[in-house]
């Protein structure tokens, strides 16, 4: 089966960004530099993952294989939630954590696994809306995305003085969920494929747009660093809807044909295992920031080699 190796390389880079984000890259050198990467540049990773999946989900709908796709993603979610169960289920259960919190985690996903539950939710929503015209679909993308951005900013800037409202707005899954983050980018990828939007612009225009988008993202993150009065995490950046589709389109157009899935498998394995690696390193070492990132990358790549081998036998883990 032919593959676009350029997109596989992009996915690997995005997986490493997610790892660096969770490791606190550059936190040991500069708080500002850490924020601009961890709560800035690295935030392009997950939206681009959604765009890539939405782009290829279009083919699943056309070929009527969407149920098979959903089953595969759901099994993937269940497998990795089971792997991390000692952290999100067993330990909280033994500590008498409220059952509601455990139920929410089981639905939303543990730590980085929210991405998979978001993927399932976005796909189900798109299946319900697949027959509506492009203009209303585009309107839904804009509406859901902007609601997520507004909730994120209202929470991080503590716009509402009512403590209960502020607490709700600062609950991560309220804005980082399948409706307000997953769906807008997943549906964007879907529409790019449906209408061949990746062929509308030249590489020169796309590169100029990416440069402009990176500048916008850095400016937005810099403003948040200095104006919000805190170093709270940001997932729903306004500039992400501009830059992420352009980065995807650039790599999609930069088509490099290949047959190997190795790079894609490494990106998936690193994404799924890196949280376990980071948790283990924090327990047994004093590594911080940059050192933590580098060591975690090396160990994650090493473990991924064996995960990929295991996946050849148990074909449900990647």
Residue 151: its pLDDT value, please?
Answer: 96
With a cut of 90, say whether residue 91 has pLDDT above it: no
With a cut of 80, say whether residue 2 has pLDDT above it: no
**CA–CA distance, 251 with 189 (Å, rounded to integer):** 13
**CA–CA distance, 262 with 259 (Å, rounded to integer):** 9
- Residue 20 or 3, more confident: 20
User: Whose CA is closest to 292, among 102, 25, 89?
Assistant: 25
Digit-coded pLDDT (tens) for 251-269: 999 888 888 899 999 999 9
With a cut of 90, say whether residue 229 has pLDDT above it: no
| DSSP 8-state symbol, 260 | -
**CA–CA distance, 124 with 67 (Å, rounded to integer):** 10
User: Whose CA is closest to 273, among 306, 315, 225, 227?
Assistant: 306
- Confidence at 105, pLDDT banded by 50, 70, 90: very high
* 33-to-4, 73, 225 alpha-carbon distances in Å: 33, 35, 10
With a cut of 90, say whether residue 92 has pLDDT above it: no
List, in order, residues 6 or more apart from 313 with CB less than 8 Å away.
none
Q: Which residue has the tokens 């009512």?
A: 162
User: Whose CA is closest to 81, among 111, 47, 101?
Assistant: 111
What is the token pair recorded at 87?
């952290």
Residue 1: its pLDDT value, please?
Answer: 64
* 187-to-122, 124, 178, 197 alpha-carbon distances in Å: 8, 11, 11, 13
Asked if 278 contacts 22 with a C-beta cutoff of 8 angstroms, the reply is yes
What is the token pair recorded at 129?
């809306």
With a cut of 80, say whether residue 96 has pLDDT above it: no
Residue 21: its pLDDT value, please?
Answer: 96
270: number of Cβ within 10 Å: 24
> Which secondary-structure segment (H or E) carries 145?
helix 134-156
Digit-coded pLDDT (tens) for 116-168: 999 999 999 999 998 899 999 999 999 999 999 999 999 999 999 898 999 99
User: Quick one: CA torsion of 237, 243, 248, 250, rounded to 10 degrees?
Assistant: -170
- Residue 296 or 202, more confident: 296
Q: Which residue has the tokens 């969770």?
A: 22
Residue 282: its pLDDT value, please?
Answer: 95
Rounded to the nearest integer, the mean pLDDT of the chain is 93
Digit-coded pLDDT (tens) for 65-90: 999 999 999 999 999 999 999 999 88
**CA–CA distance, 164 with 318 (Å, rounded to integer):** 40
């Amino acid at each position: 089966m032919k593959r676009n190796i350029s997109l596989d390389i992009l996915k690997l880079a995005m997986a490493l960004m997610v790892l660096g984000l969770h490791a606190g890259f550059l936190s040991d050198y500069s708080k500002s530099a850490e924020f601009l990467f961890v709560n800035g540049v690295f935030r392009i990773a997950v939206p681009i993952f959604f765009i890539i999946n939405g782009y290829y989900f279009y083919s699943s709908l056309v070929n009527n294989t969407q149920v098979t796709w959903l089953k595969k993603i759901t099994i993937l979610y269940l497998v990795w939630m089971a792997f991390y169960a000692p952290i999100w289920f067993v330990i909280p259960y033994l500590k008498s954590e409220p059952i509601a919190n455990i139920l929410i985690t089981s639905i939303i996903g543990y730590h980085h696994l929210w991405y998979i539950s978001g993927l399932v939710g976005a796909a189900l929503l798109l299946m319900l809306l697949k027959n509506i015209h492009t203009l209303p679909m585009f309107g839904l993308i804009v509406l859901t995305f902007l609601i997520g951005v507004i909730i994120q900013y209202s929470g991080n800037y503590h716009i509402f003085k009512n403590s209960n409202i502020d607490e709700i707005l600062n609950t991560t899954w309220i804005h980082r969920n399948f409706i307000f983050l997953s769906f807008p980018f997943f549906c964007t990828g879907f529409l790019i494929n449906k209408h061949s939007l990746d062929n509308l612009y030249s590489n020169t225009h796309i590169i100029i747009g990416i440069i402009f988008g990176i500048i916008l993202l850095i400016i937005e993150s810099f403003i948040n660093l200095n104006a919000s009065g805190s170093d709270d995490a940001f997932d729903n950046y306004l500039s992400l809807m501009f830059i992420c589709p352009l980065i995807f389109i650039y790599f999609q157009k930069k088509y490099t044909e290949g047959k190997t899935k190795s790079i894609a498998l490494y990106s998936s394995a690193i994404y799924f295992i890196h949280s376990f690696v980071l948790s283990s390193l924090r327990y047994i070492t004093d590594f911080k920031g940059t050192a933590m990132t580098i060591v975690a990358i090396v160990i994650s790549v090493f473990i991924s080699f064996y995960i990929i081998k295991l996946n050849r036998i148990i074909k449900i883990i990647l």
